[in-house]
Chain A
Amino acid sequence: MQSIASYAWLVPLFPFVAFAVLLAFGRGFRTSGIVVGSAGSAASLIMSLLVLAERLGTNADDYNAGFEWIAIGEFTLRMGFEVTNLTTLMLVVVSLVSFLVNIFSAGYMRDDERITVFYAYVALFVSAMLALVLADNLLTFYFFWELVGVCSFLLIGFWYAKPEAKKAAKKAFVVTRIGDAGLLIGILLLFWHMPNRSLAFTDISNLFGQPGMADSGMTTLIALLLFLGAVGKSGQFPLHVWLPDAMEGPTPISALIHAATMVAAGVFLVARTYDIFLASPAAMDTVAFIGAFTALFAATIAVAQNDIKRILAYSTVSQLGYMMIALGLGSLAGGIFHLFTHAFFKALLFLGAGSVIHAVHTQDIREMGGLGARMKLTAWTFAIGALALAGIPPLSGFWSKDAILTAALAGHPALFAVGLLTALFTAFYMARLFFLVFAGKPKTGARAHESPAVMTVPLVLLAVPAIAAGFVEMPWNGWLGEWLTGTAEETHGGSLAFVASTAVGLLGIYLGWAVYAKGSIRRDAVSSRMPWLLRALERKYYIDEAYQRVAVRPLLALGRGLQAVDDYVVEGIVRFAGWSAIAFGRAGIRLQNGQAQTYGLTAVIGLLVLAALFVGRRFW
């Protein structure tokens, strides 16, 4: 009997069919559009679960299949898919979140005119994301990597009538392009140096797994370039600027693309090419420190933001940094574990935020308040998500964060400290967010009421894994790590990390409660003493302004200069070429005037030229 894994290629195909159908039928139908889109992702989910079930039972071998895509001389390019435990896990996460987001969008986007277009884009994205996960070589991977980038661009700019959305879409596209350029160069270098010109992940793994490849400059360069792609996609410093702005898109999109799946693709890329990184300590350190810096940096910004989605966006950046720390410390399982749990609780938080926005029609948390009484279900599920993010046991976020902190404690104490500090800030801003939105007295919108069931059911369904997803890997139970990597990690059992992270999470929540709910600490306790700090945080450390000044304006000036060159020099040459052809033609027309005398004159001049040539040749 053939294994189910051999049919894994169906997983991305279902949403693609849904996309094609939606594209073909256009805006003709609304309700059926929702059904088609959701059915596509539901089919993917079922298929993914089947694959997962098969792989859970036995210690299954990796399944790889494909076909020759391009054959150039002796070199052939394959396109294929590969089912490993890692990809299976990603398949389940992506298809589950996308299915729930599809359901949620039915309520959230109900009144939008272009809902069918929306579903078409989402279906395309899901298809591309699943194919990216399944890709068995870097080139195919890159292909779908760009495709999800395009979908992200389309969906951020979905409300293109809003100038901010347009700007944000453009920014996301341009900034991630910087990373993509790095990734492409990395792939090309890899292609250059692979012995048989193979870009398949298995070949890469086999080659770089050998000790001989370790620590060569080229390995480090390739790893860093691949990491640059991950930095762009996963919103790591210094290319994080696009992710908060991407919140201009519809909230379900923020949940799906900019929290759970696409931004995790960077982490996934690092995990998929992990052997290259393992071969280069310098690259590993870079990953870890960039991740740590990003985690802390984004967490501090999140403290001072007032837009509910932006807070969550900076939180996403921060948590992605966490994953990078884990990967950089050599804990593949920790990074993927956090990716896994984060996908659920962050999607839950975003969808909860969407529910709130749907109710009060604002995104500014200072204008919200007291929503807990009227939106019980949303408030409870949001609280679960927030606690999971803050790292309170026994919710899922705690276990994954604990795994990372344990690894950090074993590997690099400074990173452990940064991780703890980040956890403190995380707990604090989540508490601030929760209490400002759901506690206290209502400030506006007495008409706010609970969202319809189509939106709350996905919240409840996401709350379940947000609570329970952590149980697959606990300090005394390394099941996930063993399943993913094949070897059990032995770093578990650090009770210091366990206790410290719990304490820090509780402290952060207490501080948030004390400041924003009880009021026992004045809100301007810090800002009155250090107003510059608050301003810097509110302005996101002036990164955007700095980029504006350092990169954007000089580039714009350069662009103008080049355009001037194009307008006057290049176009001048082109025009001259055209003009000279026309002039030549006109001269020909004038010559061809039908008058015998002109023809005669031409003949005589021709004769003279010929004679001059023949005579002149005698002299030199």
Chain B
Amino acid sequence: MLHLDITGEFVAFFLLSVVMITGAVLTISLTKVVHMVVSLAAVFLGLAGMFVLLQAEFVAFVQVLIYTGAISILMIFGIMMTEHRAEGTDPVKPLHETLAAVAALSLFGLLFFAIRASDFPEPAPFPFGEDQTLEIGKLLYTGYLIPFELLSVLLTVAFIGAIALARKEAG
């Protein structure tokens, strides 16, 4: 199975995945928290690129808007409001970290094995290239109306709750 079609999609996928993995690793390994946010934003952007590759333009747009925009900014606020000194570099719990690394690697090994072993059926052509936003809108307001409304309630509750939690104690 070593014959590769060097298509445009492949090249783009390769570049984007390099960006994303690098960003993810940096997010974990950098010492300054602000740098971490920047690399995390790179992962978010890379993921948006992936969505475009997968013909999910609307979701990609939302990804950029919410993740790269809102959540990153929110995180920066979180950092500013708490503490932004450097993370301690020395491992305080070597056993814990080793075990966590082993567990993460094993989990990856398991997933990788599962992916390799699975036999995916040949996909049907993706029919929603044009006017995808319209289709999503129709779906949201027909089949998924109730979840959609519930989600809005959830968001409202979450924001009110966040405000209640974060505001300075009056008494």
Interface residues of A (CB under 8 A from B): 597-598, 601, 604-605, 607-608, 611-612, 615
12 contacts across the A-B interface (CB closer than 8 A): A597-B96, A601-B100, A601-B103, A604-B104, A604-B107, A605-B99, A605-B103, A607-B107, A608-B103, A608-B110, A611-B110, A612-B110
Q: How far is the CB of A484 from chain B (nearest CB, A)?
A: 87
Asked if B96 contacts A598 (CB within 8 A), the reply is yes
* Chain A interface mostly: helix
When distances are taken between beta carbons in the complex, the residues of chain B under 8 Å from A598 are 96
B107 near A601: Cβ-Cβ < 8 Å: no
Q: Which of B82-110 contact A (CB under 8 A)?
A: 96, 99-100, 103-104, 106-107, 110
Known: A597-B96, A607-B107. 9 other contacts (CB 8 A): A601-B96, A601-B99, A601-B103, A604-B103, A604-B107, A608-B106, A611-B110, A615-B110, A615-B113
Q: Which residues of A contact B107 (CB under 8 A)?
A: 604, 607-608
Question: Which B104-144 residues have C-beta < 8 A from chain A?
Answer: 104, 106-107, 110, 113
How many angstroms between the C-alpha atoms of A607 and B110 in the bound complex?
Answer: 11
Q: How far is the CB of B95 from chain A (nearest CB, A)?
A: 10
Q: Smallest CB–CB gap between B14 and chain A, Å?
A: 30
Count of inter-chain pairs, beta carbons less than 8 A: 20
Contacts of B113 in A (CB 8 A): 615
CB neighbours (8 Å) of A601 from chain B are 96, 99-100, 103
A569 CB, nearest partner CB in chain B, Å: 33
- Least Cβ distance of A619 to chain B in Å? 12
Q: B interface vs A, CB < 8 Å?
A: 96, 99-100, 103-104, 106-107, 110, 113
Q: How far is the CB of A597 from chain B (nearest CB, A)?
A: 7
Task: Write the chain B residue with the least CB distance to A600.
Answer: B100
A604–B100 alpha-carbon span in the complex (Å): 9
Taking CB as reference atom, which chain A residue is nearest B100? A601
Query: What chain B residues lie within 8 Å of A608 (beta carbons)?
Result: 103, 106-107, 110
Q: How far is the CA of A116 from the CA of B162 in the complex (A)?
A: 88
Chain A residues near B100: list those with CB within 8 A: 601
Residues of B with C-beta under 8 A to A607: 107
When C-beta atoms are compared, the residue in chain B nearest to A607 turns out to be B107
Smallest CB gap from B103: residue in A: A604
Contacts of B110 in A (CB 8 A): 608, 611-612, 615
**Minimum CB distance partner of B110 in chain A:** A611
Cβ contacts under 8 Å, B104 to chain A? 604
Complex Cα–Cα for A323 and B146 (A): 111
Q: In the complex, A607→B103 CA distance in Å? A: 10
Most buried by B among A597, A608, A612: A608
Bound Cα distance A611, B113 (Å): 12
Contacts of A605 in B (CB 8 A): 99, 103
What's the minimum C-beta distance from B58 to chain A, rounded to whole angstroms?
Answer: 34
B106 nearest CB neighbor, chain A only: A608
In the bound complex, CA of A605 to CA of B110 (Å):
12
Separation of A597 and B96 alpha carbons in the complex (Å): 9
Q: Please, how many angstroms separate the alpha-carbon atoms of A6 and B61 in the complex?
A: 113
- Cα distance A615–B114 in the bound complex, in angstroms: 10
User: Which chain B residue shows the least CB distance to A598?
Assistant: B96
Q: How far is the CA of A605 from the CA of B107 in the complex (A)?
A: 9
A563 to chain B, nearest CB (A): 41
Contacts of A597 in B (CB 8 A): 96
Give Cα A208 to B106, complex, Å.
80
Q: Which of B100, B103, B107 has the most CB of A within 10 A?
A: B103
A615 surroundings in chain B (CB, below 8 A): 110, 113
Q: How far is the CA of A57 from the CA of B96 in the complex (A)?
A: 97
Docked complex Cα distance between A605 and B103 (Å): 6
Complex interface: chain B residues within 8 A of A612 (CB):
110
Chain A residues whose C-beta falls within 8 Å of the C-beta of B99 in the assembled complex: 601, 605
Q: What are the nearest 9 A-B pairs in CB distance?
A: A604-B103, A608-B106, A605-B103, A601-B100, A611-B110, A601-B99, A608-B103, A608-B107, A601-B103
